[in-house]
Structure 1
Amino acid sequence: MIDILPDAYLWVKVLHVISVISWMAGLFYLPRLFVYHAEQVDAGTATDRMFQTMERRLLRAIMAPAMLTTWLFGLALVVTPGIVDWSMIWPWSKAAAVLGMTWFHMWLGRQRKAFAQGDNRLSGRRYRLMNEVPTVLMIVIVASVIVKF
Structure 2
Amino acid sequence: MNIRRITENKKAYIDLLLLADEQEDMIDIYLERGDMFILDDDGVKAECVVTKEADGIYELKNIAVLPNCQRKGYGKKLIAFLFTYYPECKTMFVGTGDCYSSLSFYNACGFAESHRVKNFFTDHYDHPIFEDGVQLVDMVYLKRAF
TM-score bin, normalised by smaller chain: under 0.3
Which structure shows the bigger proportion of residues in helix conformation? Answer: 1
Q: TM-score, normalised by structure 1?
A: 0.27
**Greater RCO, CA 8 A, separation 6+:** 1
Q: Which has the larger radius of gyration?
A: 1
Name the structure where strand makes up a greater proportion of residues: 2
